[in-house]
Amino acid sequence: MRLVFVYGTLKRGLSNHHYLAGQTFVGDASTAPGFALYDVGGYPGMVRAPGSAGGVSGEVWSVDDACLSRLDELEGTAEGLYRRERVPLLGPHAAAGVEAYVYLKDVGGLRPTGGAWAERGP
């Protein structure tokens, strides 16, 4: 089992949460400062933002290898859209070795979301 921090459409109640079916919710969490969230067009992209005082809010999930493979495919890791890597979290998950999907494309011109993602209706 691996711990994964999700911050966008995979969160409970959002459009891609079904990818986490059968996995275990561990708790709400936030990254340490130094991360920012951008609206990539219907979904968010979290990037490293050194020097930023902000962080990103989300959830920690314990997932099995089959789920992790599905998440890697969804997040486009093979295509270079996201990279799954360890990220520092605050609070009780700080030392847990949690991984998250970090957006790899240029965010210039994209709208920052303020560290939290909520899907908008049509």
For the annotated catalytic residues, the residue numbers are 75
The alpha carbon of residue 104 and the mean position of all alpha carbons in its chain are separated, in whole angstroms, by: 13
Dihedral sign computed on CA atoms, order 76, 82, 86, 88: negative
* 119 C-beta neighbours (distance < 10 Å), count: 14
